[in-house]
Amino acid sequence: MINKLVEKIRKTKAPIVVGLDPMLNYIPDHIQEAAFSEFGETLEGAAEAVWQFNKEIIDKTYDLIPAVKPQIAMYEQFGIPGLEVFKRTVDYCKAKDLVVIGDIKRGDIGSTSMAYARGHIGKVSIRGKEYTPFGEDFVTVNPYLGSDGISPFIDVCKEERRGLFILVKTSNPSSGEFQDRLIDGRPLYELVGEKVAEWGEECMGEEYSYIGAVVGATYPEMGKVLRKIMPKSYILVPGYGAQGGQGKDLVHFFNEDGLGAIVNSSRGIIAAYKQEAYAKYGAKNFGDASRAAVEAMVSDINGALEAAK
């Protein structure tokens, strides 16, 4: 699947991923009112509002982008109806030929880790018949439990040609409480990055590994170091826009070939209509505001990469 992601990034000239992380307060009132009118002010109503919101954003942006990243917690909070919408969103995006990164941040061991892997990027067998439960192309994984937690995911990646983005240095302010701790004089995130590169050697695509890393845009100097440690691992970069990251901060996350990184923006795109820069679109045209925000993000990042040459 990494080959498809690289191909689509080249085709769209857009090294970005749209985070489909819908909160109810991001969803315009007219979408909510229609959903609650049909399904009541219930979990089902909230899930329907999320679905209609997602669908409009996907319809208005899919031709500009290579990938989307739905964050499963935003769906789980609405229970079973929310998970059904997560699955509908995954299927709809794949029908639009988008690469889907399931932001699930799972991390466990043994049979539990294998169950997560099969449920999200693999298949389950029921009395001789195989089923694809969620069907994402990539998932995010927490490596805190070590190889016991990662190996089952890697096994499924090999079977299904799917991929992982393993948390290495996250964008949140308190990430340093653990990730920056020195071990034998080196920060923990560097040691995790080395392990990601090692795991990645087992699952190489044509140019890059199926095993990538998550490194926050808010730590560009650390990203520069980690890029060298993991030259064949794609880096998923959260923290653009709403969390402060800008295109000029991100050039060191990329390799000299202009590839190697994909930058995520979530509320900066899906809730763009709430920003002053896109207020002219209004809530009724929130999808058009999201499209404009995608175009601006692509221009910012590509401009920065060009200037860095």
Q: How far is CA 19 from the centre of its chain?
A: 6
State the virtual CA torsion across 130, 132, 133, 137 in degrees, nearest 10: 150
Catalytic position from the list 96, 105, 123, 274? 105
Length of the chain: 309
Count of beta carbons in the 10 Å neighbourhood of residue 291: 23
Closest alpha carbon to 132 in 117, 153, 112: 117
Phi, psi angle pair for 187, to nearest 5°? -70, 145
Name the DSSP class of 242: T
169 as an active site residue: the answer is no
- Cβ(74)–Cβ(23) below 8 Å: yes
Spatial separation of the C-alpha atoms in residues 297 and 309, rounded to whole Å: 19
283: Cβ–Cβ under 8 A, 6 or more apart, which residues? Answer: 28, 29, 30, 273
Q: Token match 């009395």: residue?
A: 127
Strand partners for 164 = 139, 211
Q: Which segments of the chain does DSSP mark as H helices, in order?
A: 2-12, 29-39, 43-61, 73-76, 79-95, 110-121, 147-160, 176-179, 188-200, 220-229, 267-270, 286-308
Spatial separation of the C-alpha atoms in residues 20 and 200, rounded to whole Å: 27
Answer positive or negative: Cα dihedral of 248, 305, 104, 60.
positive
**Active-site amino acid positions:** 105
